[in-house]
């Protein structure tokens, strides 16, 4: 028997956050398909200057998410705001001391899993003054660790869009510098053709299918002729469920929500070599690997810490409450033996030697 819901809901969204005033969901009804309940509704969104009418699946914020396109009006707001303000979604992770500790654990596990900081396919001439950059450096710990392996003549520069996680003082040595840079914006002239090696990792919550090529092209511009770009990424998004219902485990509902609503445009993760080729970089190494069994538990817990940061950033109270409830249950799932399915991706590209 079809289930009925209230015919109207309001989504709070001020003009400061993007201009949307309200949304209505009318004539909602449910059809049960297997274990998934889908709400087919017409959603009318009123904008200050132009109305939009479209149809898709949606759900109410105080209900468990039961279809892959739940809370459709809320997603529309995020998409509209993202397109209006930037190519990229807002940064949904934290930058406080807990986030810094989470990044430190992630760095140590990544290093222990791969056995290297820079891939062996990248030759380093220690007789010359090397210039190495880490983009999206966060706390700068990767550079600080690498600096212990480099001669004192090497110059190591860390860049991040925010300096909130940079350590105070000079813990990494005089040859390491940390400064702000947005890699999705035009690169300053003084940073062009300056680096022998550029490293970055874990841009899954930052880059999108629309902005990925911009980032790769800008990184290429920072390389010297013959320089190397190493991109380390983790792929858990493509392994997240596309569909989830209230009958599924909490971790499945949580990860489905993240994939569909927070980081939906991340097909680039499994196509990094193609972006390198389009930028003129020759791919010299590309590989993937899963986690070592001994690190499955701490790596899953590290992701759960990140998910908690995502929940803290949510502005809608009902959405945040649901997310936190699912997160608490996902923590219980992990304690019972569930671990995240993911792979590490590593791609090295070389810039052509030119006259």
- Domain at 339, CATH number: 3.40.50.150
pLDDT score for 290: 85
Model confidence pLDDT, tens digit, residues 316-353: 888 889 889 988 999 998 998 888 888 899 999 999 98
Average pLDDT over residues 4-23: 30
Q: Kindly indicate the confidence band of residue 90, based on its pLDDT and cuts at 50, 70 and 90.
A: low
Question: What is the pairing mode between strands 223-235 and 195-201?
Answer: parallel
Q: Is residue 112 domain-shared with residue 50, that is, in the same domain? A: no
Q: Is residue 120 domain-shared with residue 58, that is, in the same domain? A: no
Q: Kindly indicate the confidence band of residue 264, based on its pLDDT and cuts at 50, 70 and 90.
A: low
pLDDT score for 92: 67
355 lies in some domain: no
Mean pLDDT estimate for the chain: 75
162 lies in some domain: yes
Model confidence pLDDT, tens digit, residues 29-48: 333 333 332 332 323 333 33
Domain boundary among 61, 85, 109: 85
Residue 316 structural domain: 97-350
Q: Is residue 75 domain-shared with residue 137, that is, in the same domain? A: no
Average pLDDT over residues 93-104: 78
- 18 vs 281, higher pLDDT: 281
Stated pTM of the model: 0.72
* pLDDT of 55 strictly over 90: no
Domain boundary among 32, 63, 85: 85
Q: Is residue 136 domain-shared with residue 51, that is, in the same domain? A: no
Q: Kindly indicate the confidence band of residue 101, based on its pLDDT and cuts at 50, 70 and 90.
A: confident
Q: Is residue 319 domain-shared with residue 346, that is, in the same domain? A: yes
Domain boundary among 85, 106, 130: 85
Q: Is residue 78 domain-shared with residue 103, that is, in the same domain? A: no
91 lies in some domain: no
Q: Is residue 65 domain-shared with residue 25, that is, in the same domain? A: yes
Q: Is residue 108 domain-shared with residue 250, that is, in the same domain? A: yes
221 lies in some domain: yes
């Amino acid at each position: 028997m079809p289930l009925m819901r209230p015919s109207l809901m309001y989504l709070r969204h001020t003009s400061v956050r993007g201009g949307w005033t309200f949304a209505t969901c009318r004539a909602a009804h449910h059809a049960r398909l297997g274990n998934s309940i889908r709400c087919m509704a017409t959603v009318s969104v009123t904008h200050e200057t132009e109305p939009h009418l479209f149809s898709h699946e949606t759900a109410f914020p105080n209900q468990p998410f039961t279809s892959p396109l739940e809370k459709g009006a809320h997603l529309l707001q995020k998409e509209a705001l993202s397109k209006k303000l930037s190519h990229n979604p807002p940064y949904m992770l934290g930058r406080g001391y807990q986030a810094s500790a989470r990044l430190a654990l992630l760095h140590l596990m990544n290093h222990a899993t791969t056995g290297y900081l820079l891939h062996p396919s990248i030759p380093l001439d220690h007789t010359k003054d090397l210039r190495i950059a880490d983009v999206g450096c966060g706390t700068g710990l990767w550079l600080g660790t690498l600096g212990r392996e480099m001669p004192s003549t090497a110059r190591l520069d860390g860049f991040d869009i925010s300096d909130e996680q940079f350590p105070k003082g000079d813990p990494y040595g005089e040859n390491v510098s940390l400064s702000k840079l947005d890699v999705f914006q035009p690169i300053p002239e003084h940073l062009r053709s300056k680096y022998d090696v550029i490293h970055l990792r874990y841009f899954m919550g930052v880059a999108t299918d629309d902005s990925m090529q911009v980032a790769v092209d800008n990184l290429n511009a920072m390389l010297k002729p013959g320089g190397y770009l190493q991109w380390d990424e983790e792929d858990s998004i493509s392994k997240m469920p596309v569909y989830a219902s209230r009958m599924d485990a909490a971790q499945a509902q949580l990860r489905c929500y993240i994939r569909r609503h927070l980081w939906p445009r991340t097909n680039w993760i499994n196509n990094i070599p193609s972006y390198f080729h389009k930028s003129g970089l020759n791919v010299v190494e590309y590989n993937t690997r899963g986690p070592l069994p001994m690190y499955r538990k701490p790596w899953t817990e590290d992701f759960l810490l990140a998910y908690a940061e995502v929940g803290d950033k949510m502005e809608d109270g009902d959405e945040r409450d649901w997310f936190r409830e699912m997160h608490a249950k996902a923590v219980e799932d992990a304690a019972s033996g569930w671990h995240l399915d993911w792979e590490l991706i590593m791609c090295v590209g070389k810039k052509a030697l030119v006259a």
